[in-house]
């Protein structure tokens, strides 16, 4: 599989986000299915796996740790701190002591002596970013993590953090329908030599073309039910964009999901597409995007078709929006 750089690591350009196996997108799969999916990804050549203390309030790290431990030497393992489950609730806490305690807990659940790439999951705006990254740099010095990452931050915050310790990767949502990184963060990452890890490259399933009616297809506890873009009226308008998108996929000779991933990977040599799935079939389909190259004409048509001006609905609801630091289109 194609490889790209993420800090000191050479990783597959297609990376597996493991959140879906324990968290957020409705009922998690059975343990046997989750284990089979992780093994299938390994067998296919994926060597970059992403989890977090938040996912399943520790359950995802325990799952990933148990399955991947025998293969630890051949993979790059990423996890996250700064947003965890406390007494059944999600809490953002970027204080140095909390970061260090979370790291110790994650190391135990993952069954490893060191985490390769450790992200600050969200910037706790009550704590200077320099303090949180300072704690992460101390974890590097202690040999508990190998590299530092940030998630959902602005270019200005990235630069402040990078002045304290090199930032190996920034992870933020990026797809045809979420273009916020194009405002400033993509350029900042290129300037600083930081990898950009694009999560939800399939637009949370929208670009797969399979999600036609969120009201009936999404489970009650699926996080997309809290996202304005998936409300009935805006989603109906967004669905109208898919005919042209599917047309480009057909001309390219790939599926819509593969087209979405190829578009993300075409944004730059430092961009990694981090996708998640609960389905072995969808995993195999997504892996078909490896090595897919889009023509300049196809990219231009996609850019014109689905962008911040043609997509309806906000990315997050008002409460969640306050928790992130990414730039917004005016």
Please state, in angstroms and as integers, the Cα–Cα distance from residue 123 to each residue in 10, 89, 116, 187, 296, following that order. 26, 17, 20, 20, 36
CATH superfamily to which 3-203+265-292 belongs: NADP-dependent oxidoreductase domain (3.20.20.100)
CA 46 – CA 14 distance, rounded (Å) = 7
What was the pLDDT predicted at 167? 98
pTM of the model: 0.98
Side-chain half-sphere CA neighbours of 299 within 13 A:
13
- Mean pLDDT throughout 42-61? 98
Which of 25, 55, 119, 235 does the annotation list as catalytic? 55
Neighbouring residues of 142: CB distance < 8 A, sequence distance ≥ 6: none
CA 11 – CA 49 distance, rounded (Å) = 10
Active site residue 55: yes
User: How confident is the model over 290-316, as pLDDT tens digits?
Assistant: 999 999 999 999 999 999 999 999 999
- The angle that helices 155-164 and 129-141 make with each other, rounded to 10 degrees, is 40
Which pLDDT band, with edges at 50, 70 and 90, does 88 fall under?
confident
CA dihedral 270, 271, 272, 275 (to 10 degrees): 170
User: How confident is the model over 151-191, as pLDDT tens digits?
Assistant: 999 999 999 999 999 999 999 999 999 999 999 999 999 99
235: enclosing H helix or E strand: helix 232-239
Q: Which residue's entry shows tokens 């992130």?
A: 324
CA 316 – CA 13 distance, rounded (Å) = 27
Domain boundaries, the chain: 3-203+265-292
- DSSP single-letter state for residue 30: P
> Are the beta carbons of 110 and 72 closer than 8 angstroms?
no
- Mean pLDDT throughout 275-303? 98
């Amino acid at each position: 599989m194609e490889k790209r750089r993420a800090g000191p690591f050479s990783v597959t350009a297609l990376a597996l986000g493991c959140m879906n196996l324990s968290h957020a997108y409705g009922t998690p799969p059975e343990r046997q299915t989750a284990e089979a999916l992780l093994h299938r990804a390994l067998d296919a050549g994926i060597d970059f796996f992403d989890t977090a203390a938040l996912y399943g309030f520790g359950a995802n790290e325990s799952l990933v740790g148990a399955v991947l431990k025998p293969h630890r030497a051949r993979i790059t393992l990423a996890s996250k701190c700064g947003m965890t489950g406390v007494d059944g609730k999600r809490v953002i806490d970027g204080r140095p002591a909390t970061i260090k305690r979370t790291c110790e807990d994650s190391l135990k659940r993952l069954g490893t002596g060191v985490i390769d790439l450790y992200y600050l999951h969200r910037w706790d705006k009550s704590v200077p970013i320099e303090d949180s990254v300072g704690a992460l740099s101390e974890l590097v010095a202690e040999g508990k993590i190998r590299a530092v990452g940030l998630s959902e931050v602005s270019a200005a915050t990235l630069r402040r953090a990078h002045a304290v310790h090199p930032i190996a990767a920034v992870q933020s949502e990026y797809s045809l329908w979420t273009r916020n990184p194009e405002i400033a963060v993509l350029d900042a990452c290129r300037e600083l030599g930081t990898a950009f890890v694009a999560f939800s490259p399939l637009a949370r399933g929208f670009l797969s073309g399979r999600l036609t009616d969120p009201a009936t297809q999404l489970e009650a506890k699926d996080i997309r039910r809290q996202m304005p873009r998936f409300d009935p009226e805006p989603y109906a308008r967004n669905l109208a964009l898919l005919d042209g998108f599917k047309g480009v996929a057909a001309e390219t000779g790939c599926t819509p999901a593969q087209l979405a991933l190829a578009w993300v990977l075409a944004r730059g040599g430092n961009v990694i597409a981090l996708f998640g799935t609960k389905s072995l079939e969808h995993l195999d389909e997504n892996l078909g995007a490896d090595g897919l190259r889009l023509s300049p004409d196809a990219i231009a048509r996609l850019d014109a078709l689905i962008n911040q001006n043609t997509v309806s609905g906000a990315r997050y609801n008002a409460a969640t929006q306050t928790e992130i630091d990414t730039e917004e289109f005016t």
